[in-house]
Amino acid sequence: MTVIVLTNCPPGLRGFLTRWLLEISAGVFIGNPSARIRDALWDEVRQYAGQGRALLAHTTNNEQGFTFLTHDHAWHPVDHEGLTLIRRPDPNARTTRTTPKQGWSKAAKRRRFTRG
């Protein structure tokens, strides 16, 4: 079983997926293609998603019984002792600047030249 969920993707991509999968809701595709076809479909989705997001979930032979892949999602799959879990971004986390801003600020320049 394969499920592909598209968000904010071009209509042409949705039309392409309907050749292989059944669209059961807007942007939600389900079917049972072979592994080769599933991988080819996922490559096409990643290539033509544009600004959109995509999620692929399919059955596999592991403890969970499925696995999934994401494309341009804020939530990322993380392997935790053999189980795949989703790491969501912390909404309270402050974004820190990794590289300091170069040069002088306008206020510092004014202060420097007005002091004499």
12-46 pLDDT, tens digit per residue, is 999 999 999 999 999 999 999 999 999 999 999 99
C-alpha dist (Å) from residue 54 to 9, 10, 43, 63, 106: 8, 12, 11, 24, 43
Alpha-carbon gap, residue 57 to 34, rounded angstroms: 14
Reading the block at residue 90, the tokens are 């912390």
pTM for this structure? 0.74
Residue ranges of alpha helices (H) inside 1-116 are 11-17, 35-48, 106-114
86-97 pLDDT, tens digit per residue, is 888 887 776 655
Stretch 3-17: mean pLDDT? 94
